[in-house]
Structure formats: structure tokens, C-alpha cells
Amino acid sequence: MGYKSFDQYASEYDAWFLENERVLECEVRLVAACLQPGRDILSVGCGSGLFEKILADRYGIRVARGIEPAAAMAEIARRRGVDVTVGTAEDTEYGTACYDTVLFNGCPCYMNDLALALRKAYDALRPGGTVVVIDVPKESAYGLLYNLALAVGTWDHPLLEGVQPLYPYPIELVKQANWRTTAEKARLIEDAGFRQLTYRQTLTASPCYSHLVEEDPQEGYDRGAYVAICATKP
């Protein structure tokens, strides 16, 4: 996976979320619903630490450590108070039985070997700990739209006119992604040893209207374009 794109577009990443304030709000609410204050949390693929900063300021949920492959993004996260190790999810050591929660927020689609990352998360969690895997499902409206943009190589195409988001995700970052279905991710989570899977979802509006809507997360995974899978280490 080409992490240089995230170094190059580090500022654009934050700018996209700040332009899409309601999308950001929906996603933050989803992440917060999956976490608890006072827990030892590892955030894998923490990016610029934007979510971690909001979670700490608004919900009192503090992330103990982050892992981020793009050095420019990691530096922004450090300035936001996250203790970040620069490295990939697959190559970086997570530790053994030292966290209550391991969070993968929006990053699974950028991992070459999600199965390996989930096994490392399992080892890093204490018994009874939780893995939280959040991403755009391949089968969702956003997933289908992103793959169409990927296929044509641009957002500026007649097939996307009138249906794309008001502020579309940078095409260079779309080109780096490999979205998986919810079923694929659930199978990988179970294969890593996790049990008691639960699902929450948000961004249930059409992508071209998502900038108009703020919503609280709902149970399930059948309508949302951003879906969280939470599972427990026995």
C-alpha cells in the first residue's frame, strides 16, 4: 500500500473532514459509541489524530497510543497529544495483553494484510478486551461509489455527475484503498479468535446528501456507509 499519498495529502485529509462537518460528526458519534472512557486504547492507523482529539475533548475518551504508517500524519497526531509509533499495522509491535481496546478506524481498507493485524490486536488485548473495526463496507453506497470513481480514475466523469458527495474524498486516496464487505471483515475477525460480534452503522443517507444530515449510530450493518464491528477476546 502506498502510504506516501497520505504524507502528501496529510493536510488535505483534515481539510476534507472539516469541509464535511456532518460526515465527521456522524463518524465521531459512531466511534464514541464503541469506546469507553478510562480504558487503555490502542488506535491503529490513527492518521492525523483528528478523531482521537475530538474523542478526548468531547467524550473524555483518551487513546493511550497510536500507530500510523505516514510520518507526516503521525507528526500532526503527536501535536494533538497522541503518542504515535510510525509503522504499518502489519509490521509494528502492538505488545502483549496490554490494552483493553484496539481500534481500527477507517484504516482496514488501506491494509494489505488485515488478518495479520487482527491477530496482533488479539495478542495485544487483555482477556475480555474489545477490537473495534470501522470502515466503509464495499457493498455500501459509498463503497460502490468509491469503486466506480476508482474504475474511471476520476470524480470528473458523467457517470458520477449528480451522485457524488458535495466534497468527494481525494481521488489519490481512493486509488490506494481496497474496500472489503462487512461479511469479509466479520470472517477475518472471527478467524483471529474474537467472539460476540456486534454491529453499529451510520451515514445512511445517499452520499450526495450526506453533507446535510447528522445522525446517531444505529444497530446493524444493512444501511450504513460507515459500519463498526465490535468483538470480544474470550
The class level of CATH for 4-232 reads alpha beta
pLDDT band at 9 (very low <50, low <70, confident <90, very high): low
> pTM (2 decimals)?
0.95
171 CB-near residues (< 8 Å, 6+ apart): 149, 153, 154, 155
Cα–Cα distance for residue pair 94/67, rounded to 1 Å: 9
Q: What is the pLDDT of residues 211-228, one digit of tens each?
A: 999 999 999 999 999 999
Q: Under a CB-based contact definition with an 8 Å cutoff, are residues 216 and 132 in contact?
A: no
Residue 147 burial class via C-beta count within 10 angstroms: exposed 0-12, middle 13-18, buried 19 and up: middle
Domain borders along the chain are 4-232
At 159 the pLDDT is 96
Q: Under a CB-based contact definition with an 8 Å cutoff, are residues 202 and 224 in contact?
A: yes
Q: What is the pLDDT of residues 138-192, one digit of tens each?
A: 999 999 999 999 999 999 999 999 999 999 998 988 999 999 999 999 999 999 9
- Percent of the chain past pLDDT 70, that is, above it, reads 96
Round the average pLDDT of the chain to a whole number and report it. Answer: 94
